[in-house]
Amino acid sequence: MTRLHTLGLAILMALCAIIQPARAQVTAYATGQGSVNSIDVAVEVRASVRSRCGFAAGGAPAGNIDQADFDQSGFTKDFAIQLNCTGASRIAVSSTNGGMATQTVGGTGYGTKAPYQVALRMVADNGTSVAAMCEAATIGDGSCSFAGMASTATGLRLAGASTKANGSYLRVSAPSYSGSAPLVAGRYTDTLSITVSVTP
């Protein structure tokens, strides 16, 4: 029994010795010491970059506009935006008042809210751009195309990556007031909140 087992091992070792030359060459020799002087191997390297999106450092639109007698002169101001988005993104705007509103109580026949416009222009690193404009009132009631909180489905969509100062901006503007009811004297304000999100 022991002999038979030993014989079986000897046969297996012999088979291994026969099969070995058919395997891939794993040894290289110095010139003149063997027929194989180099070995080629393939190494596949894979990596991925996860989508990220936000405002670049210092790139969020910030500031204020303080225009005296805006009912007569109107106003316009651009706020620069710089994104840090490695893929497609959406940007959205919400409005506290849906217009320039005052807490002053207006008498009969006087208005307490003035309309104004909000425009967005977003530019990608490859030069493509997208733009839209809405009345503040439609941002307030949610009917504007970029109203609300940015998400994968909500907001103005920029198809390309945007990681540089490409000339993107948010613009607020209003002509001189032309409503039928004159505005009551007082301080008029609104607050816009801007959010950004990755999107497919």
What is the tens place of the pLDDT at every residue in 135-147? Answer: 999 999 999 999 9
pTM, entire model? 0.75
- What is the spatial distance between Cα 130 and Cα 123, in angstroms, rounded to a whole number? 7
Q: Among 175, 95, 88, which residue's Cα sits nearest to residue 126?
A: 88
**Residue 25, pLDDT score:** 57
103 token code pair: 């807490």
**Residue 26, pLDDT score:** 66
| Cβ atoms < 10 Å from Cβ of 148 | 15
- What is the spatial distance between Cα 199 and Cα 145, in angstroms, rounded to a whole number? 15
- What is the spatial distance between Cα 162 and Cα 83, in angstroms, rounded to a whole number? 6
- Per-residue confidence in pLDDT tens, the chain, 200 aa: 333 333 444 444 444 444 544 455 567 777 777 777 777 888 888 876 677 899 999 999 998 989 999 999 999 999 999 999 999 999 999 999 999 999 988 788 899 999 999 999 999 999 999 999 999 999 999 999 999 999 999 999 999 999 999 999 999 999 999 999 999 999 999 999 999 999 99
